[in-house]
Structure 1
């Protein structure tokens, strides 16, 4: 039976949604249990659905794909017993391609294919920007697609390759793919990890005991299984792990890294390490830079929890203005109101956040958030603060204005729905109804991320297309649909 999922965020459609999380383990007993734990740690990267594929020498490949949270599905002994073996990969999903908000179980990864030399499964984090062209070509040549996901193109390209083993077929396939991809794959004996040449999406390597290895979107998932962080899979690198040995391959032409800077701002967990740097420390430093760039007289610095918290701490420390938890998050909302009545829906953000009235009343408040997308939630939070008696509300945003959609694996609204695409900073301030509004500059963001000289405009160190409109990989599919790139300056 194919179930349909309702929208995963009925009260919080004013944030960019992370793409997916991938995790794989080899060389341990009951690898699927390790993968389930890893996916639980990566749940912030996708809450819509998850899946695990395992391989056992006696039982072969087994898979399970489910809607909802990892904790609600992959903690059940009856299910985990169907996924035996020392090798497994998994995926948590928030749809960015295919049927958004109306996902069929066939769209849930990992995807599996049976080839002449044996089976293989893949889990993909990112977005293929030439997927439509590839799909048309493959269908014309006889391929039959089972899902609406762009990731399935990789399996079909592998099937058409003439190479004699799965890693070589994967190299062939990924050389045809444009966009962003961090892929974790498996054969009967091998665990494989690949990053696209620009390294837009993260992928790291961990060590488990003497012979075990893990591949993960983030280091925080290595911590939960007690794995030792080894290093990142480098941009354009393929690693193949078999029988306790790791081999590195370079299937693509060398290119300068363009890691997604929004991973540092919002997507990754603050306890992860990216590019050798603590995500928490980067976010705290964003607050420091923001305080230097956009000082204002006030009585209290408050975060919009939880993503605004590290930046608010940094802002408070640099400005000398006291930090306080002026807004409290309801940690137990979960999916309780997944199909709310209209009356409950009208309560909106109040179901998720509540103002600490005793702290806020009579205060000039600096509210620190990670981003402004549509602006709807920001207006509601401002109203809540004023209703609680705040004397002034000043917004400070820990990212530059989000004026362009992302085509590399992030669920971004159409450009016309992005507030910063339609309004200047002054107009946004008026629209939100706040006393002042300031965003961190692009240079300030780069400095916070460890680039002391700021952004190198002739050769940017990160992918920042959502702020700058400069796409490091041409979004062919979207241009075909009429999307207009930023005019050359």
Structure 2
């Protein structure tokens, strides 16, 4: 069987989703609902850990939230007034059960559960040092490094141990954690990865996105600040700022693709931001056409913005089949090319003889875009113009998004004209950096102090890539030895 849909292999894959709630009799059930709302952030595995006043209860499994937590007997075991949960897409560590989060350990102070969205860029270096000192790792995830750093910290309280660990790690991260009497939320000093705070009655909630608050009827309070540690217990909420303030670099791709359109991210409606990017695209790269067609589903808001600005009709020229998961037949050469049609099909009646503008959120390897363009042409379109609601993706992400290597990224190998030729479209254009930033409410990209993390477009990595640099040094040394 194919383990990945052929259409999905050419997407930037989501990172992970985290959720935590304190002071609610149905904590685990609310967590399962929150994880369901965050399913788009990770579909490989899911887990919940709860605390019932006497013991920690956990259930983790590979698969999606609805399949894992639908059984009443599973939820009945997850008793307690506090819980944390995690949806996983693996950017570090194998897809095996021991890597499914939240991770749990019995430390000197008691039980501790931890869930993580993001990527630690010095995890391998720290892991080597910890193993040398005698630490025994149970998983291959970068997240477990934090637990071992806490276990060996020269500190007394949980928060002191956690801050000691945070000061040693580097990377982009949002953590939610739980002890027997509190939940904790942490965001990296540059605020690259998202984390929001909400409230449902007297219960506090932490989640990756506001859509996870909406599903349980909770009120959004605010974003957890860059570098902030929030501690929630029976006394309420307190905020700690263990890091010196610095220029925030929130991930721009959350606005472009990763966050759900109905979420509010850093005070901005994701849906509105994507429509504004589409409008900028229309201003910058207008082409005479008969219709604007989104590549479902992520291209829809930008296509609406493009169509409104260009005064060209918006049409669903491509229909998505929402009931396709994994390919259910062997991928022999004779049928492999049909894989795209399992998930998307051209709306022939509307496309025939038309000049079409296709709008998508990004181009990664380019294989998906080529299949889409070919499908639209076969449906009878007279012209196919492609417009992308992001600048060219030329560099891999090391901060929690699973991207191909630079050599596999189409934009790192070809200029725009070469990409258009490879994809087979009549014209191709990307939104400019300034256009993207204008859509975010900024006058343009400040080269001296960029307002977002846009490393996948620019190669400007705001956090040190310690492990990556070590790999490059090893490669260079091996190359010199080979010579």
The 8 Å contact of residues 325 and 356 in structure 1, kept in 2 or not, is answered as yes
Partner of 2:302: 311
Deviations 1:441-489 (A, max 9, x none): 11111110111x11101100000000000000121111221289xxxxx
Partner of 1:487: none
Cα offset, 1:429, TM superposition: 0.8
Partner of 2:232: 241
Partner of 2:252: 261
The 8 Å contact of residues 51 and 91 in structure 1, kept in 2 or not, is answered as yes
The whole-number CA distance in structure 2 between the counterparts of 1:203 and 1:338 is 39
Cα offset, 1:243, TM superposition: 1.0
The whole-number CA distance in structure 2 between the counterparts of 1:483 and 1:398 is 36
The whole-number CA distance in structure 2 between the counterparts of 1:7 and 1:217 is 27
The 8 Å contact of residues 51 and 63 in structure 1, kept in 2 or not, is answered as yes
Q: Secondary structure at the match of 1:286?
A: helix
After TM superposition, the structure 1 = structure 2 runs for residues 225-374 of structure 1, keeping only pairs within 5 Å, are 225-243=216-234, 245-335=236-326, 337=328, 343-374=334-365
Partner of 2:147: 155
Q: Secondary structure at the match of 2:8?
A: coil
CA distance change for structure 1 residues 483 and 125 in 2, over 3 Å: closer, same or farther? farther
After TM superposition, the structure 1 = structure 2 runs for residues 47-66 of structure 1, keeping only pairs within 5 Å, are 47-58=43-54, 60-66=55-61
Partner of 2:480: none
Correspondence 1:16 to 2:12: yes
Correspondence 1:109 to 2:101: yes
Partner of 1:393: 384
Q: Secondary structure at the match of 1:157?
A: helix
Q: Secondary structure at the match of 2:25?
A: coil
Deviations 1:92-137 (A, max 9, x none): 00100112xxx11001110111111111100000000001100000
Q: Secondary structure at the match of 1:149?
A: coil
- Which one of 375, 378, 387 corresponds to residue 384 of structure 1? 375
Deviations 1:179-219 (A, max 9, x none): 1010000000101000000000000001010x201100000
Q: Secondary structure at the match of 1:132?
A: helix
CA distance change for structure 1 residues 436 and 10 in 2, over 3 Å: closer, same or farther? closer
Correspondence 1:469 to 2:475: no
- Which one of 37, 44, 51 corresponds to residue 40 of structure 2? 44
RMSD: 1.5
Deviations 1:153-200 (A, max 9, x none): 000001011221212211110110101010000000101000000000
The whole-number CA distance in structure 2 between the counterparts of 1:263 and 1:244 is 33
Cα offset, 1:241, TM superposition: 0.4
The whole-number CA distance in structure 1 between the counterparts of 2:286 and 2:411 is 21
Cα offset, 1:348, TM superposition: 1.9
TM-score, reference length from structure 2: 0.96
CA distance change for structure 1 residues 243 and 342 in 2, over 3 Å: closer, same or farther? farther
The 8 Å contact of residues 120 and 142 in structure 2, kept in 1 or not, is answered as yes
The whole-number CA distance in structure 1 between the counterparts of 2:171 and 2:161 is 19
The whole-number CA distance in structure 2 between the counterparts of 1:240 and 1:300 is 51
Cα offset, 1:68, TM superposition: 0.6
CA distance change for structure 1 residues 254 and 368 in 2, over 3 Å: closer, same or farther? same
Q: Secondary structure at the match of 1:184?
A: strand
Structure 1: gaps of 5 or more residues: 485-489
Deviations 1:348-399 (A, max 9, x none): 2111100000000000000000000000010001110110000000000000
The whole-number CA distance in structure 2 between the counterparts of 1:466 and 1:92 is 23
Q: Secondary structure at the match of 1:81?
A: helix
The whole-number CA distance in structure 2 between the counterparts of 1:8 and 1:334 is 9
The whole-number CA distance in structure 2 between the counterparts of 1:315 and 1:415 is 29
CA distance change for structure 1 residues 469 and 394 in 2, over 3 Å: closer, same or farther? same
CA distance change for structure 1 residues 321 and 206 in 2, over 3 Å: closer, same or farther? same
Partner of 2:207: 216
CA distance change for structure 1 residues 344 and 82 in 2, over 3 Å: closer, same or farther? farther
Correspondence 1:77 to 2:72: yes
Larger CA deviation: 330-339 vs 394-403: 330-339
The 8 Å contact of residues 212 and 244 in structure 1, kept in 2 or not, is answered as no
Cα offset, 1:336, TM superposition: 5.6
Partner of 2:28: 32
The whole-number CA distance in structure 2 between the counterparts of 1:328 and 1:166 is 51
The 8 Å contact of residues 6 and 340 in structure 2, kept in 1 or not, is answered as no
